[in-house]
Copies of this chain bind each other. A is one copy, B any other.
Amino acid sequence: MKKLLAIGLALACTLSALATHAEDGYDMWLRYQPLSDSSLVKDYRKQLGTLVAPDGPAVIESAAQELQRGISGLLDRPLERSDSLARRGSLVIGTPETSELIASLGWEDRLAQQGPEGFLLETTRIGRRDVTVIASEGDRGVLYGAFHLLRLLQTQQAIEELAIAEAPKVQHRVVNHWDNLNRLVERGYAGLSLWEWGTLPEYNENPRYRDYARINASLGINGTAINNVNADPRILTDQFLEKVAALNEVFRQYGIKTYLSINYDSPRAFGDLDTADPLDPRVQQWWKDKAKQIYKHIPDLGGFLVKADSEGQPGPQGYGRNHADGANILADAVAPYGGVIFWRAFVYSPEQGDRFREAYDEFKPLDGKFRDNVIVQIKNGPIDFQPREPFSPLFGALEDTNIMMELQVTQEYFGFSNHLAYQGPLFEEVLDADTHAKGEGSTVGKILGGEVFEYEQTGMAAVINPGTDRNWTGHPFVQSSWYAFGRMAWDYELSSEAIAEEWMRMTFTNDRRFLDPIGEVMAYSREAGVNYRNPLGLTHLFAQGHHYGPAPWYDEAERMDWTAWYYHRADEDGIGFDRTESGSNAIEQYHGPVREHFGTLDQIDEDYLLWFHHVGWDYKMNSGRTLWEELVLKYDEGVQQVRNMQAEWEKVQGLIDRERYEHVKALLEVQLRDAIRWRDSCVSYFQSLSGLPLPEGSPEPEHDLEHYKKLEHTFYVPDPWHPKGNDRRVDY
């Protein structure tokens, strides 16, 4: 009889497999497919037989629903929900306030230690019953604990003896969308904006809104800034606020606060005032009135994200005021509602000598002048999300100003959605970087956590790229960088390697034959992208506008700091940007040991060499080779790494679903084509300056330099947001 049942089940599974959709990546890492390890499943089933969850707060209800969905799927049998403990194997969740069972544990002090977003996940007994408990002071902590337990199951961890205490290390864990109101996404590369303004507020039952919230909440992300920092003032009209409120209704159920990017000139754009001068009382009143109107629509709005006086955006400097003046009036306007201001430090003006220096030079003198509910949001590096940058010297420089870091998940400079380039190692590199702000060990991560300076508010943000593409992110592996950001925003000490393995297990399979080789691929994929684009501290060799293809020869633009030449400064004698005392002296912005490390040729990590030094083509590297030889070999290595990625990927055929396998395989072909073109373009160009032969064994570029120059604006990847930049010339 059992056998027959098994046959029935097997048959039904085959059938349902036939009828269901092909694997398309939509579920991201929340796949919840039945686990393959049957003895583990048996144990899990025993331990997690019944869910005991309180009725009540929406966020706890979301946790309960997620647990039912996840555990039912993973263990391939429905998880029942009950009001009371089963005889054995109950999963009990809640806060002491919402659940008498949780209250009965007497854990109040321990829960207080973890705070309202932290949780305890433990196996224990209530009365005579064995239970697994997810408890928190706050509703969000319960939700995060639920996702934690699900992650343990998805990655097939033992759960018989759980004694987990977790709490996030930073306070604001925020994703940023560069979505325009016309639904084009700046630097998104994964379809149109998720926000269907034309059908809002009516249609907020769109399943993508909820799934988007689930995906973020599963990582502990608690904020989303939904519109482009190059902000359209209309986001603050009643018409749009109603639409935002409808989205916020969904996000709220997953503990996610909504933030709006605002245009600093809004008082003028609305036609109400002829100025946006922050010291003008009418402007201050305008923002107070506007805040009142906004919070009427969205009482729990998180606040504003502001890009001011940057790349053409208006700001306080247009009225002779500084960033603190600018930020503080907004902070005062939202303070009555508990709102905060994320004020971006990504500023640079065409006049200055070294763009590297500018954010520091503008913000350092303002340290201590910002309100407590302002947080200065600083990109990881001093330029702009390049494949490798030294950490921004602002980390460790602002002692009395709340700061947070801005990372980029969308691959603006990493091959859009076509290249595999797991960003975990990049994030880890900057989080682990030691600023020496208060002696050794003052890592960027600790600074962000408020452990070096006592900040009122802490946070991490990332520019993500989800759009209407079915798998949200275009390249399936861009998902991994979103995942890594979320996990590191929760705990900056997690390793990119461990995170990659978690992600692969949840997203693809627990099969070691997949995890080992593809874990390797992920680990070096970012370095590969550095190598075939701009090794040894080169940077920003991109064609203008599209940021996809190479143009190291590019030396004329409206602004020199938008050219490639500005960054590499190569001539027949040598290459690199001198940022030591003999040059722009940007290194003075770092604390002593860092300054010395970057500033001294025999100390510097060669990965950063040309960021800080201009050296001759014959400069001797640690390897004994000349700089020229090393440079070419690095380019070669980048191409070889992509070939290796292809070879490894081919080996995992059959270990995962065919659809995602073929997708990644095809994209690796695109990546190899691009990597070769990058390498050949850069090697040809630099050789035209150095006049030196290629090192032995290094292949001659297939074409001459003129050929590659002509390709600069040929069609690469259509980017609807930027048709003029990406696609502006008709090349035949």
Using a CB–CB cutoff of 8 Å, the interface residues on chain A facing chain B are 1, 4-9, 11-16, 18-22, 24, 26, 32-34, 69, 72-73, 76-78, 181-184, 191-192, 197-199, 202-207, 232-234, 237, 239-240, 269-271, 416-418, 468-470, 659, 662-663, 666-667, 669-670, 673, 714-720, 723, 726-727, 730-732
- The one of B4, B18, B669 that contacts A73, using a Cβ cutoff of 8 Å: B18
When A and B form their complex, which 4 residue pairs have the shortest distance between CB atoms, in order from nearest? A198-B717, A203-B666, A16-B16, A12-B12
B residues in contact with A16, CB < 8 Å: 12-13, 16, 20
Closest chain B residue to A32, Cβ basis: B19
A197 to chain B: closest residue by CB: B718
A663 touches B78 (CB 8 A): no
B residues near A8, Cβ cutoff 8 Å: 4-6, 8-9, 12
For A666, give its contact among B14, B32, B205, B240 (CB under 8 Å): B205
A659 → chain B closest CB, angstroms: 6
Instruction: Please name all residues of chain B whose beta carbon is closer than 8 Å to the beta carbon of A270 when the two chains form the complex.
Output: 732
Contact between chains at A207 and B714 (CB < 8 Å): no
Residue contact B199 to A418, C-beta cutoff 8 Å: yes
Instruction: Let me know if B15 and A72 touch, CB within 8 A.
Output: yes
Q: Which residue from chain B places its CB closest to the CB of A662 in the assembled complex?
A: B205
Complex formed: what's the CA distance from A4 to B9 in Å?
Answer: 11
User: Beyond A12-B16, A18-B69, A663-B205, is A181–B469 a contact (Cβ under 8 Å)?
Assistant: no
A208 CB → nearest B CB, Å:
8
| Separation of A183 and B659 alpha carbons in the complex (Å) | 23
Closest to A210 in B: B22
Tell me if A78 and B720 are in contact (CB < 8 A): no
Contact A730–B13 (Cβ < 8 Å): no
- Shortest beta-carbon distance, A470 to chain B, in Å? 7
Q: Is the CB of A732 within 8 A of B237?
A: yes
- Cα distance A651–B362 in the bound complex, in angstroms: 63
CA distance A122 to B65 in the complex (A): 51
A77 CA / B10 CA spacing, docked (Å)? 12
Q: Do residues B76 and A670 form an inter-chain contact, with CB atoms below 8 A?
A: no
Q: List 22 A-B contacts (CB under 8 A).
A: A5-B8, A9-B12, A12-B13, A12-B16, A19-B32, A19-B33, A19-B34, A24-B207, A192-B192, A197-B717, A197-B718, A199-B666, A199-B667, A202-B666, A202-B669, A203-B670, A204-B666, A205-B663, A207-B659, A233-B732, A234-B715, A239-B714
Known: A21-B20, A667-B203. A234 touches B181 (CB 8 A): no
Is there contact, CB below 8 Å, between A184 and B1? no
Which of B5, B181, B271, B732 is in CB contact (< 8 Å) with A718? B181
Smallest distance from the beta carbon of A667 to chain B beta carbons, Å? 7
State the CA gap A199–B667 with chains docked (Å).
7
> In the complex, what's the smallest C-beta–C-beta distance from A668 to chain B, in angstroms?
9
Residue of B nearest to A730 (CB): B234
Interface centre among A203, A239, A269 (most CB of B within 10 A): A203
B184→A716 contact, CB < 8 A:
no
The CB with the most chain B CB atoms within 10 A, among A12, A34, A197, A723, is that of A12
User: Which chain B residues border A21 with CB–CB below 8 Å?
Assistant: 20-21, 26
Contacting A15 at CB < 8 Å: which of B76, B203, B662, B663?
A: B76
Of A18, A32, A206, A670, most B-chain CB atoms within 10 Å: A18
Chain B residues whose C-beta falls within 8 Å of the C-beta of A14 in the assembled complex: 78
- For the complex, give the distance between the alpha carbons of A727 and B667 in Å: 35
Q: A1-B1, A198-B418, A666-B202 are in contact. Are A730 and B73 (CB under 8 A)?
A: no
Residues from chain B with Cβ under 8 Å of A32 in the complex:
19
Contact B202 A670, beta carbon cutoff 8 Å:
yes
Contact A197 B715 (CB under 8 A): yes
Contacts of A716 in B (CB 8 A): 198
Cα distance, A32 to B20, chains bound together (Å):
10
Which B residues lie within 8 Å of A9 (CB)?
Answer: 8-9, 11-12
Known: A15-B72, A205-B666. 17 other contacts (CB 8 A): A1-B4, A5-B7, A6-B8, A8-B8, A9-B9, A9-B11, A11-B77, A14-B78, A15-B78, A18-B73, A20-B20, A21-B26, A197-B718, A198-B717, A237-B731, A269-B730, A468-B468
**Chain B minimum-CB-distance residue to A20:** B20
For the complex, give the distance between the alpha carbons of A18 and B197 in Å.
Answer: 30
Among A5, A232, A669, which residue has the most Cβ atoms of chain B within 10 A?
A5
| In the complex with contacts A199-B667, A199-B670, A663-B203, A718-B22 CB distance below 8 A | no
A718 CB contacts on chain B under 8 angstroms: 181-183, 197-198
Residues in B neighbouring A182, C-beta threshold 8 A:
718-720, 723, 726-727
- Residues of chain B lying within 8 A (CB to CB) of residue A673: 202
Nearest B residue to A658 by beta-carbon distance? B205
- A154 to chain B minimum Cβ distance, whole angstroms, is 13
Q: How far is the CA of A234 from the CA of B731 in the complex (A)?
A: 8
Q: Which residues of B contact A723 (CB under 8 A)?
A: 182, 184
Give chain B residues whose Cβ lies under 8 Å from the Cβ of A4: 1, 4-5, 8
CB distance from A472 to the nearest CB of B (A): 12
